[in-house]
Structures are given as structure tokens and as C-alpha cells.
Chains A and B, each alone.
Chain A
Amino acid sequence: MNIWELIIVQPMTNILLFITMLVKNFGIAIILFTLLIKLLTIPLTAKQVKSRREMADLQNDPQYKKIMEKYKDDREKLALEQQRIYKEKGISPFSSCLPLLLQMPIIFGLYQAIMRAMASTPYELLKLERIIYPFLDVNKIIPIQNRFLWMDLGQPERLYVFGIGIPVLAILVVLTSWLQTKAMEGPDAGGDASVAATTNSMNLMMPLFMGYLAYQYSAGLALYFVISNLSTMLIYALMGEMNFKRLFSSNKEETPTKKVIETSLVSNDNDEEEDEKTAKPSPKPSARSAAKKMRPKKMKK
């Protein structure tokens, strides 16, 4: 067994199996396990959101815009100036990537744990049996009861209506992925049409790709995708990062004020009053206040 398996996949699989033993339902176990992992990674998500906002603020900074314009034909000089501004403002352009990078092993591990636990062939069952910790009774765990609602979690999901198999979960995956990417879209490309087109196409292709995976793979994985998307949306909404108005508006209709609102949500406590004054009313006051509650103390400067 390699290190990845030993420190990530095996413990996660065993936790998932342990939850399954407790709740006696694999579908509910997948939901609980996904939510648990999402909860545990909230500090990382918050850090990522904070860094993203700082970078977004910088994009709107007049001095930064001026430099961008001034050195647009001199990439070397532009890079140097950008570095200087980052240093001045104490921003690390990669700091929003770090929490994401830290989350990646957890997300991959979660995915692999779910796939591993849904073993449906003798070969996969054997592999699962071998990674179960001794304190969990293999005989009580294997095989896992894969039945959940109308689904067999170990197989691609179809809801048969008049003999036609409808991939309900795959459709839900496409929908929730699209809602998530659309409502969490970052700032526009500053008028760069090609970047905007790429973003739009990615925003459409990614949900379809996720849906394709959900259609092809086991229903348990599709269930994980749906719960993961919904919980991510909820967490981001609580952090004030969701803009559901975007669902029914094109990028061109975006108002720049959102970034100002976002900035106010991540600023430190001393800046709060000032932020309240500058920020226009948030479309979702409840989300805004929740975000304040969730703001990690570490964010204080």
C-alpha cells in the first residue's frame, strides 16, 4: 500500500464505513461524510475566499489599474511593478491557491473513499476488505447495502418511468454544478472578450463533464457530487460569496459594487464600520450577517 492510500484513502474509507455502521444506510453515510469533510475544510475555504477577495480588490485599485495600463506593452516591467504592489499591500497572489491545494488531497481522498466503499465486483470487494481496520468487523460491513431510495449506489443511477431509465442524479449534478459555477463566478475579465468566452465555455462544459461522470459512474458518486455542490453553495452563501442574481443575468449586466460588498465582508473588525458606510446594501443581509459570524479570527491584521 502506498503512502497516499495509507494516510488518506484508508482512514477516510474506514470513517465512511464506520458512519455506515452507525446509521445503517450507505446513502445517508455518504451524505453525512461529505458534509463532515466540508465542515472540516471550512477554515481552508474561508482562507481561500479571503485571498480571492483581496486579489479582486486589487483588480479594482486605481493605482493597480494605472500600472496595468502604463506597462501593458512591457511584460517584464509590468511583472516587477505587480510584485512591488503585492509586497506593498501584503498580498500573495498564490495565497488563494494554497488552501485549494491543501483541500485537493481531501477532496480526492473523499472521492476515492466513496468509490472504494462502493465495491461491487469480487475484485473490488477484495480490495475493500483488505483496507478495513481490524476494529471494524468486516463481516458486519461487507457487503455494504447499496440500496438508497430508488437507487443502487454501486451502479449508475436510473429512475425507470414507463420503462425509460432517467438519470435523475446526473441531471441534478449538471444543474447544481452549473448553479454553483454561475453563482460563484469571479470578477469579469475586465472586458477581455476571449477570457470571458473561455470562462463561459468552461462554466458550461464543467457541469456537463461532471454530469457525464455521474451518468457513467456509480450512483453513490453522483450522490456525493450533488451533496458536495449543494453544501459548497451553502458555505459560500453563508460567506456572502454567492450571487444568485447571476443565474438570470449575463456577465455584462454585472455590477461592480459586488466586489465592494465582498471586501467589506472580509475586512477586519476595525474596518467594519467604514465598510458599512461604503458598501451598498447586500442583496442578502442574512448571508452577510452569517458571514460575519463565520469570519475566522485569524483574518485580523
Chain B
Amino acid sequence: MKTKIFKLFLLVVLSLLLLAGCATGPIAQSTPGMSANDTHVFLSAMNKIYKINLEDGTEAWRYPTDNTRMVVYAPALLNDEDFIFGDMFNKLHKLDIENPQQEDWESTEAKGWYQAKVAESDGIVIAPNTDRNVYAFNTKDGSLLWKHEDNFAFISEPLIIDDTVIISSQNHEIIFLDLKTGEEKDKPLDMQGAVMAAPYYLEETDFIYVGSLGNEFIAINAKTHTVEWRYEGSIEKLSGIWAKPIYLRGQLIFNDDLGNIVSVDPKSGKENWVLLEQGKMLAGLAAVNEDSFIVAAEDGSVRMFDTNKKQLLHFNIDKAKIYTTPLVTNNLVIIAPLGAEYMLYAYPIEMTSTPQWTFKPAK
């Protein structure tokens, strides 16, 4: 009997060792993340971050360069020399943008995944995590400054205005934290549903705009943190809102996941126009120039509209499903679909249906 018990114990120890050794990391489906500077676009997709030349779509580097295991979907923060991103192995990294082998620091403080782009101000990195904490790290050395705990995972990008961190919570609220201490600066603002979209700040009005899954889109006074207006236009019931709005020629334009696109006056919330059900979409809108914007839908369709809701262009990316908000650089519109032949499609900003370049990582 003793031998059998010993064998059982051995089996447990062996399985423990095997489990620890064979781990390849978390498995979750997500969508590619993109960020860019003047010369490069950085693509976070599955197990790598790729640095790609905006000029011709060639790969400059990839991280990790070796077979180190990583899962990353969050777009990287590019701030002067800072290149900071979190992964789904619960790590936050700060790399040298020219030489990714050179890691400035790495934080293993969090117990959950980093799904959202981090924000940075005054030498403090604000990093939302799915372990229900918002973390603040010192940009220089990655040391933990504070953390704020809530009831649900944080999965959207924070907004920093002066010394206030504004962050969407799946706990049906918007949270206002002190940048330096992490203390609540104000009572959380109640929303009608989980807030997935990142808040958007417009200096002209000094309002913060955000929508939720509770069929609402609201404007919040950035000083008082109270609701200025709530969308009450021709669409009786908005669907879930997952993305930030855009601001074009005095219009605030947002979309819901049924593809309803709404233009309102940012000060009063009064509706200018609506475009109904342009295709299911998780991705947000992307302003191409002062007069037009791009809409990318789940079915792989890409449309361009002007601020009078006139459609200027429409094409489809073959086999693509688009969930990531298109990225607009100085002269390109970049789309990162799922399921298509290429991971990136870069179109000239004048927009044609023929990409200037495409990107698929070499093996």
C-alpha cells in the first residue's frame, strides 16, 4: 500500500513538473493592436510585436527575436523614446525602440493579462490589467507606485487629463483616480452597462465622451465629472459601443456594434445625422483627414464617408474580418484584419482599393 501511495505522490509531482514545463501560455482570442510613429508601424499580433517600415512594409525587427514565449495583442505605447507594452503572460515591458534586445525593464507585478494600451504622463505609466487592478509604474525603472482594485477586469485604454486618470470599468462605471496616488478623485460615474470603450477627451469642449454596452453615449464634464448630455437622437436604442468617437469639422462621430454611425454636436449632443446599420463593427472610426473618415466592418468591408455622410469609397478585403480600428499615419491608412491573406494592408491616404503594401511576417 505504501508503494502505491508513493507512486500516487510521484504522479502528482511529475504532473506538476510537466505542467510547469510544458506551459505555452494563455490561450484567448483577441484582435491585433497597432500603433505608429513617423517612420514605423508596430503590430502586436499573437506571439510577436513587429516593427514595420511605413515606407514599404518591410519588417525592421520583431520581438521577441528568439523563441521566448509571449502572447500580445495590446498596442504599444510610443512616447518619444518610450516603447511600453503589456502582454498576456502578465508582464509589462519597456524596450529600446531601436534595439528590442535591450529591455529597459520588465514588471511582473500583475497577476492578469494586459489587454489594453497603457497611458503615460509625468513619468508614470498607467497600466490596466485583467486581475482587476489598474497599476501605476515609474516610467524610468518600472517600480510600482500604486494600484487600484475594482470588481472586474480592466480591458480598455486609460485617459490622463492633467493629474486625473479616467478609466472605463466593466463594473458599469467610469473611474476617476489621482495620477500620483491612485486615490479616487471623485465618486465613480454610474453607467447603464459595462464600459468597454476608452474615454475620449476633446479640449474644445473640455468634455470626456464615452459609450457603453448599456445603449448609451454620454458627455462628461472633465472638471466636475458629471454628465453633460446623453445621446437622445433618432436612434431609439443604440447598440453596444466598443470604440472611441472621432472629432471632425466640429462634429463628434461615434458608432455602435450594429454599425449605426451617429454625428452629434459635441457641446450639446444634438444629432447632426445618422447612417444606419453599416455592418456589424467592433472597430472604431478613423479620421483620414479633416473631411472624411474610414469605417471598417466585421465583414471585411471598408467604407469612406465625408462629414456630410456621403460615401466616397467602398471595397472589401477578401476573407477578412476587421475588429481593429484602422490606423491613420501621415500618408497611409493601415488595416489589420483577421483571417485575410495578409496581416496588414496599407492604403494611400487618398484611399484607393489597392493597397500600397501588405505585410505578412516571414517565417
Does B362 sit at the interface, judged by CB under 8 A?
A: no
| Chain A residue contacts of B29, Cβ below 8 A | 121, 123-124
Nearest CB on A from B238, distance (A): 12
Residues in chain B near residue A237, CB distance under 8 A: none
Q: Which of A13-21, A208-216, A288-296 contacts B (4 or more CB under 8 A)?
A: A208-216
Pairwise interchain contact B153-A154, C-beta atoms closer than 8 A: yes
Number of chain B residues close to chain A: CB under 8 A:
46
Which one of A122, A129, A155, A158 lies within 8 Å of B31 (CB-CB)? A122
Q: Is the CB of B19 within 8 A of A167?
A: yes
Contact B4 A152 (CB under 8 A): no
Report chain A residues within 8 Å CB of B18. Answer: 208, 211-212
Q: Which residues of B contact A120 (CB under 8 A)?
A: 28, 113, 130, 153, 155
Residues of B within 8 A of A122 (CB): 30-31, 115, 155, 196, 242, 282, 323
Instruction: Please determine whether A146 and B30 come into contact, CB atoms closer than 8 angstroms.
Output: no
Residue in contact with A143 in the complex, picked from B12, B26, B194, CB distance below 8 Å: B194
With the chains together, A139 CA to B196 CA distance in Å? 12
- A191-208 vs B, CB cutoff 8 Å, 1 = contact: the mask equals 000000000000010011
Contact A174 B12 (CB under 8 A): yes
Q: A143-B153, A152-B130 are in contact. Are A178 and B170 (CB under 8 A)?
A: no
A207 to B31, CA, bound (A): 32
Interface positions, chain A 147-205, Cβ under 8 Å from B, are 147, 152, 154-156, 158, 160, 167, 170-171, 174-175, 178, 204
- A142 interfacial contact with B, CB 8 Å: yes
Q: Which residues of B contact A145 (CB under 8 A)?
A: 151-152
Residues A216 and B193 in contact in the complex (CB < 8 Å), given A122-B31, A143-B170, A174-B15 = no
Task: Confirm or deny: A217 has a beta carbon within 8 angstroms of a beta carbon on chain B.
Answer: yes
Contact of A171 among B16, B112, B131 (CB under 8 A): B16
13 contacts between A and B (CB under 8 A): A122-B115, A122-B196, A122-B323, A126-B282, A139-B193, A139-B213, A143-B152, A143-B153, A145-B152, A175-B12, A178-B11, A211-B18, A215-B19
19 other A-B residue contacts (CB within 8 Å) besides A122-B196, A160-B111: A120-B130, A120-B153, A123-B31, A123-B323, A126-B242, A138-B240, A145-B151, A152-B132, A155-B130, A167-B16, A170-B19, A174-B15, A174-B19, A204-B11, A211-B19, A212-B22, A215-B23, A216-B24, A216-B25
